[in-house]
């Protein structure tokens, strides 16, 4: 997988949890904060959503990428170049955690952390 796609895929693991249809309003707690995904090996991926529809992601290997986000059909969608991916996103507050599976099948723990 190319580095850009790998960083985005790492960030997308953060979105891989069953949830009711999400709205832009539901995403507000993420603005100005960090979504952290911790993998079994302890490495972390990070995702920062901005209210203007842009995002920055940092993959487990430290590579940073940028793209845009939107809400489509009740799911959060991340787009970087030609690569686009949509996932359900839980309604969470700062400090909450949730578990899920990464794109590669690993079980991960996600947390919405205060600050950037």
The alpha carbon of 105 is separated from its chain's Cα centroid by a whole number of angstroms, namely 16
Q: Return the higher-pLDDT residue of 68 and 14.
A: 68
> Which pTM was predicted?
0.80
- What is the rounded CA–CA span in Å between residue 22 and residue 8? 20
26: Cβ contacts below 8 Å, ≥ 6 apart = 89, 91
pLDDT band at 17 (very low <50, low <70, confident <90, very high): very low
Q: Which of 11-25, 45-59, 93-107 has the highest mean pLDDT?
A: 45-59
CATH topology of domain 3-113: Lipocalin (2.40.128)
The two tokens of residue 63 are: 């590579």
- What is the rounded CA–CA span in Å between residue 2 and residue 92? 31
20: Cβ contacts below 8 Å, ≥ 6 apart = 74, 91
């Amino acid at each position: 997988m190319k580095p850009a796609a790998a960083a985005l895929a790492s960030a997308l693991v953060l979105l891989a949890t069953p949830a009711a249809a999400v709205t832009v309003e539901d995403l507000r707690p993420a603005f100005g904060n960090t979504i952290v995904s911790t993998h079994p090996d302890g490495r972390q991926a990070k995702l920062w959503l901005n209210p203007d529809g842009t995002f920055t992601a940092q993959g487990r290997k430290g590579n940073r990428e940028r793209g845009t986000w939107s809400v489509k059909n009740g799911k959060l969608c991340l787009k970087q170049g030609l690569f686009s991916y949509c996932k359900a996103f839980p309604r969470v507050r700062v400090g909450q955690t949730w578990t899920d599976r990464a794109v590669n099948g690993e079980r991960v723990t996600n947390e919405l952390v205060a600050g950037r």
